Amino acid sequence: MRSPAPPGVPAGILVGPGAGDNAAAALGLDARPGDVVVSLGTSGTVFAVSERALADDTATAACFADASGAFLPIVTTLNAARVLDAVAGLLGVDHDELGRLALEADPGAGGLVLQPYFEGERTPNLPDATATLFGLTLGSTTRPNLARAAIEGMLCGLADGLEAIRRLDAPVQRVRLIGGAARNPAVARVAAEVFDAVLELPEPGEYVAGGAAVQAAWALTGQRPEWPLALRDAPAADRRPVIRSQYAARSAV
Each residue of 157-204: pLDDT tens digit?
A: 999 999 999 999 999 999 999 999 999 999 999 999 999 999 999 999
Please report whether residue 243 resides in a domain.
Answer: yes
pLDDT digits (tens, 9 = 90+) for 45-66: 999 999 999 999 999 999 999 9
Rama region for 34: left / alpha / beta (φ>0; ψ in -120 to 50; rest): left
User: Quick one: which H or E segment has residue 216?
Assistant: helix 207-221
Question: For residue 145, what pLDDT is reported?
Answer: 98
Are 144 and 101 spatial neighbours (Cβ–Cβ below 8 Å)?
yes
Q: Are strands 71-77 and 62-65 parallel, antiparallel or unpaired?
A: antiparallel
Question: For residue 2, what pLDDT is reported?
Answer: 61
Q: Find the CATH number of the domain harbouring 96.
A: 3.30.420.40
Please report whether residue 87 resides in a domain.
Answer: yes
Catalytic residue, from 21, 56, 196, 233: name it. 21
Q: How many CB atoms lie within 10 A of CB 237?
A: 11
Question: For residue 1, what pLDDT is reported?
Answer: 46
How far apart CA 211 and CA 217 sit, in angstroms, is 10
The structure's pTM equals 0.92
Confidence bin at 214 (pLDDT 50/70/90): very high
Please report whether residue 16 resides in a domain.
Answer: no
Please report whether residue 1 resides in a domain.
Answer: no
Question: For residue 201, what pLDDT is reported?
Answer: 97
Cβ-Cβ contacts under 8 Å for 18 (sequence gap 6 or more): 215
Please report whether residue 13 resides in a domain.
Answer: no
Higher pLDDT, residue 6 or 58: 58
The stretch 90-109 carries a mean pLDDT of 98
Confidence bin at 78 (pLDDT 50/70/90): very high
Confidence bin at 8 (pLDDT 50/70/90): confident
How far apart CA 76 and CA 58 sit, in angstroms, is 14
How far apart CA 204 and CA 172 sit, in angstroms, is 22
Please report whether residue 4 resides in a domain.
Answer: no
Are 29 and 72 spatial neighbours (Cβ–Cβ below 8 Å)?
no
Strands (E), the chain: 34-40, 44-48, 62-65, 71-77, 113-115, 132-134, 172-178, 198-202, 231-233
Please report whether residue 230 resides in a domain.
Answer: yes
pLDDT digits (tens, 9 = 90+) for 112-156: 999 999 999 999 999 999 999 999 999 999 999 999 999 999 999
The total domain count for the chain is 1
Kindly report whether the peptide bond that precedes residue 124 is cis, defined as omega within 30 degrees of 0.
yes
Please report whether residue 146 resides in a domain.
Answer: yes
What is the span of the domain harbouring residue 129?
A: 21-251
Q: Is 233 a catalytic residue?
A: no
Torsional sign, CA 134, 137, 139, 142: positive
Cβ-Cβ contacts under 8 Å for 7 (sequence gap 6 or more): none
